[in-house]
Amino acid sequence: MPYVTAAKENSGKIDIYYEDYGTGDPVVLIHGYPLSGTSWERQIGVLLDAGHRVITYDRRGFGKSSQPFVGYNYDTFAADLHQVVTKLALRNLKLVGFSMGGGEVARYIGKYGTENVRKAVFISAVPPFLMKTPENPEGVDGAVFDGIKKAVAADRYAFFTGFFKDFYNADLFLGTRISEQAIQASWNIAAGSSSIATLACVSTWYEDFREDLKRIDVPTLVIHGDADRILPMSATGARTAKLIPNSRLAVIKDGPHCITWTHAEEVNAELLSFLK
């Protein structure tokens, strides 16, 4: 299996697992919490059929990547992405981030610039700044994140069960846009992730990406569902689109958080139009 060694922890390597398909300008797909690169299955084939080269990778602590004790912050996540880009000698990147993955897109550009980036896409993404503060009143109260961390620490498997109900708006879409088996598959991926990572990553959700977004000077697409219960559009996608010049907001009507699955046709149409 293909890996990039990102760093070392004591005597062991921290390896990032990736998959690389097709030819043409590369589209790098960055997954959300608590999943892996396999969560892009409804986009990969469509993008390949359209002539794109598609790269997915698993964030450290998730999927087939190493599960270290250290490095669960966006500076390190961006550095891991940079290792993948460097290892594969990627040029003319098109970066696509879902949920937590939108943080990698923002921080990667914030750290490394856009010389090698042609386009950026944020799908149901965490930027610009989730934490409510006196100067960021649109954010979410810190007690919400504290409650999530307590739930993950107490019984992350039970937490995942409740989390995925809102991830897919299962009360509305179960049996139509999402099956019980697909939700179970997501739960299985989450359960296989690092217990350390699933707890530590919660604190990264309220990272401030506003300065990173200011550095984005390439065409940008923001896609968000207007019924997102995990990252409400008014606090995230709508604000991100306003902060990035030359960006466009595509609203998926009735879309939950994981629109890449439940509303894949709508999302794929937006992606194909933007990336061509």
- pLDDT bin (cut points 50, 70, 90) of residue 128 is very high
Domain ranges within the chain, ordered by starting residue: 3-275
What pTM was estimated for this model as a whole?
0.97
**Does 257 participate in catalysis according to the annotation?**
yes
> Can you give the pLDDT at residue 122?
98
Per DSSP, helices labelled H in 126-222 are 142-167, 170-173, 180-191, 195-200, 210-214
Average pLDDT over residues 235-254: 96
Residue 125 has what pLDDT? 98
Above 90 in pLDDT, residue 184? yes
Query: Is 247 among the residues known to form the active site?
Result: no
Asked if residue 1 has pLDDT above 80, the reply is: no
**Is the CATH code 1.10.3720.10 the one for domain 3-275?**
no
Q: How many CB atoms lie within 10 A of CB 250?
A: 20
Residue 16 has pLDDT above 90, yes or no: yes
Share of the chain above pLDDT 90, in %: 95
Catalytic choice (31, 52, 224, 257): 257
pLDDT attached to residue 139: 87
Question: Tell me, what amino acid is at 162?
Answer: G
- Give rounded-to-5 percent helix, strand, coil for the chain: 45, 20, 35
Active-site residue, from 39, 99, 186, 194:
99
Each residue's pLDDT tens digit, 67-125: 999 999 999 999 999 999 999 999 999 999 999 999 999 999 999 999 999 999 999 99
Selected catalytic residue, list 15, 58, 80, 228: 228
Report the share of the chain in percent with pLDDT over 70.
Answer: 100
Q: What are 164-175's pLDDT values in tens digits?
A: 999 999 999 999
Q: Give residue 140's pLDDT.
A: 86
Give the residue-averaged pLDDT of 263-273.
98
State residue 138's pLDDT score: 86
- Label residue 51 by pLDDT band (50, 70, 90): very high
Task: State yes or no: is 166 an active-site residue.
Answer: no
Q: Give the pLDDT band of residue 239 (cuts 50, 70, 90).
A: very high
Is a pLDDT exceeding 90 seen at residue 227? yes
Residue 99 DSSP one-character state:
T
Q: What is the mean pLDDT of residues 198-223?
A: 97
pLDDT (mean) for 224-232: 97
Angle at 150 between CA 30 and CA 212, to 5 degrees: 35
| Helix/strand/coil (H/E/C) assignment for every residue in 215-258 | CCCCCEEEEEECCCCCCCHHHCHHHHHHHCCCEEEEEECCCCCC
